[in-house]
C-alpha cells in the first residue's frame, strides 16, 4: 500500500523483463523482496545495491503499464510502501495499475503551475469523478475537470518539480490506477438484487 506521495526520482539503468533503477533514498531501509512503487507499479525489489535495485516484470505488468516503454535514462517516480504509523498525505494507492492513459497536454499556467490533460481508456472512465482521486504514474492527484474520456488535473509547482511529470510530453503514456473504493462500490452495487 502506498500514498501517491513521490519520494524520489530514479533513473532507469537497464530495461527489459528485468528493470534496474538507480536511486538512493528509497533504498535506505529496503530489504531483499520488499515493495517499491515505480511509476505507480508495485514491484518486488531484488539485487539491492547502495545505488540501485532491480525488479522482474511479468508479462501482465508489461501489458498494463508503461514500464515496457522505458528507455535507459528515463526518469521514474519512486515510493516506499506506507507504514501503519505514517500519515496518509495522498490517498490509498495499491500499486496495481489498471491501464494506461495518453497525455493530451501539459500546459504552463504561470507561477510554475501546470494543467495536465489525459485521455482515459474507455473501460476506466466510469470510475472517475470531478474532485476525486486518481493515481497517475503513482502520483496521488485530484481531478479538476472531466469531459467525456478527458480528465484534467492542476499540477502545483512541488508536484511538477518532484516527479517525472516534468519529463513528459503530449502523446506519452502514463499509468493509471483507479481509486480502489470506486471498484468496491461498483461491485457491491452490481451484486444488488432489484426489488419488486
> Is the predicted pLDDT of residue 194 greater than 70, yes or no?
no
Q: What is the mean pLDDT of residues 1-18?
A: 95
Active site residue 44: yes
Candidates 25, 44, 86, 89; catalytic one: 44
Which has more pLDDT, 39 or 192? 39
Annotated active-site residue 96? The verdict is yes
- pLDDT for 153 equals 98
Per-residue pLDDT at 182: 86
pLDDT tens per residue, range 133-187: 999 999 999 999 999 999 999 999 999 999 999 999 999 999 999 988 888 888 8
Say whether 142 is catalytic: yes
pLDDT given at position 98? 96
Q: Which of 72, 6, 61 is nearest to 37 (CA)?
A: 6
Residue 23 annotated as catalytic:
no
**Residue 20 a catalytic site member:** no
Domains and CATH numbers, the chain: 8-79 (2.40.30.20), 99-186 (2.40.30.20)
List Cβ neighbours of 97 (8 Å cut-off, separation of 6 or more). 40, 41, 61, 64, 65, 175, 176, 177
Residue 158 designated active-site: no
Amino acid at each position: 500500500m502506498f500514498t501517491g506521495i513521490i519520494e524520489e526520482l530514479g533513473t532507469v539503468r537497464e530495461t527489459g523483463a528485468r528493470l534496474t533503477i538507480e536511486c538512493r533514498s528509497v533504498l535506505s531501509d529496503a530489504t531483499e523482496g520488499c515493495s517499491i512503487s515505480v511509476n505507480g507499479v508495485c514491484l518486488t525489489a531484488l539485487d539491492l545495491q547502495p545505488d540501485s535495485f532491480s525488479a522482474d516484470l511479468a508479462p501482465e505488468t508489461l501489458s498494463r503499464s508503461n514500464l515496457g516503454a522505458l528507455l535507459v535514462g528515463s526518469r521514474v517516480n519512486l515510493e516506499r510502501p506506507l507504514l501503519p504509523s505514517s500519515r496518509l498525505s495522498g490517498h490509498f494507492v495499491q500499486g496495481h495499475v489498471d491501464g494506461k492513459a495518453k497525455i493530451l497536454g501539459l500546459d504552463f499556467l504561470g507561477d510554475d503551475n501546470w494543467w495536465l490533460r489525459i485521455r482515459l481508456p474507455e473501460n476506466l472512465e466510469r470510475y472517475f469523478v470531478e474532485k476525486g482521486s486518481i493515481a497517475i504514474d503513482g502520483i496521488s492527484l485530484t481531478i479538476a475537470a472531466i469531459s467525456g474520456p478527458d480528465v484534467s488535473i492542476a499540477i502545483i509547482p512541488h508536484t511538477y518539480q518532484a516527479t517525472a511529470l516534468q519529463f513528459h510530453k503530449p502523446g506519452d503514456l502514463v499509468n493509471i490506477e483507479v481509486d480502489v473504493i470506486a471498484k468496491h462500490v461498483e461491485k457491491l452495487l452490481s451484486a444488488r438484487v432489484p426489488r419488486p
